[in-house]
A = this chain, B = another copy of it.
Amino acid sequence: MNTKRIGRQTLTFSHPPAIISSYAIGGEKERQGPLGGFLNETVSDNLWGEKSWEKAESKFLQQAILGALTKKKLSPDDIDLMFAGDLLNQCTATNYGIRVFPIPFVGLYGACSTMGLSMLQGAVAIDGGFVQRAICATSSHFCSAERQFRFPLEYGGQRPPSSQWTVTGAACVILEDSKKSKNGVKIDCATVGKIVDLGITDANNMGAAMAPAAIDTILTHFKDTGRTPQDYDAIFTGDLGQIGKTIVTEQLAEAGYDVSGNYTDCGCLIFDKSQDVHAGGSGCACSGLVLCAHILPKLIQDTWKRVLFVPTGALLSTTAVQQGESIPSVAHAISLTVS
């Protein structure tokens, strides 16, 4: 057995990497939501002066990275490795958004679990002794996602009650070797998810498709670490929305874990019910924005001591759905602590 792995899926960090900077940008709808006042920056124009939503999404990601660097007076040369990805075909937003940065780059595809996946990989590279600082970033955009995964916006398709609203924005955190950063929020361990597919075929019900992956990863995390829900001040899944959140709460209770008091989903926090988003928020930026605007501040302020952050991803493509396939999903759990 390795000393840095416990159980089947959980990696532990001997020197828990520290989150030394974070930056979140949202669009107009995100500004109007409950966390709007806590975002580092908001942009009222969804196109942000660009000629396409895809180009705008690239700009959101680029700006989130620049924001996180600037907050700590760091330059791209101070970053050893970058981990990023997004939802668009061939991760367009990422690849075009980050090409200005001369930083060694690892491209990820984890759909809406990317915020967690990038932090997991960044922590492995740092605690493995390979690099000192890593950028972990992701983005999503309502308009680019809608036209790619569902319908052109101009079509005006009706959205069923189970549908969710893709968050427009981008988030970036910078991780650093904790031998350099004594205090602050750190990643003490992480549970790598496996793909779970229970046969859901409704691409308008992502919450139900992703909930089994979240449940699998959370239960595995508890089993691997010996922890219980009560060891965490708060537990967040990424973008399951109201339907998925209910499934997770019920299924974890059936498995003997009561999370009714300290669990919620980022998709239930980012928008208000009055914003007509149906089952809640979704997209890579959903968990990213809630991490930077809500979770990290509460940890930094010592309101919370330990949080389990579990971004969730639905690994579907329109081609696969059109061919009658079900939706495979994945979730990665990141344990955040304050020291």
Contact = CB atoms under 8 A, between A and B. Distances in A.
Contacts of A89: 89-90, 317-319
A328 interface: yes
B5 A130 contact: yes
A54 to B, nearest CB: 6
Given A9-B104, A99-B197, A320-B54, A124 B128 contact: yes
A37 interface: no
Interface stretch (A21-29, A105-113, A262-270): A105-113
What is the count of identical protomers in the complex?
2
Interface string A48-82: 00011011000000000000000000000000110
Contacts of A274: none
B131 A109 contact: no
A252 interface: no
Interface stretch (A165-173, A187-195, A234-242, A298-306): A187-195
Interface residues of A, number: 64
Nearest to A128: B128
Interface in A239-267: none
A2 interface: yes
A121 interface: yes
Contact of A129 (B125, B128, B196): B128
Nearest to A323: B52
Most buried by B among A90, A315, A325: A90
6 contacts: A54-B320, A91-B109, A106-B120, A107-B117, A124-B124, A128-B129
Interface of A: 2-5, 8-9, 11, 51-52, 54-55, 80-81, 85, 87-92, 95-96, 98-99, 101-111, 117, 120-121, 124-125, 127-132, 148, 177, 192-197, 315-320, 323, 325, 328, 330
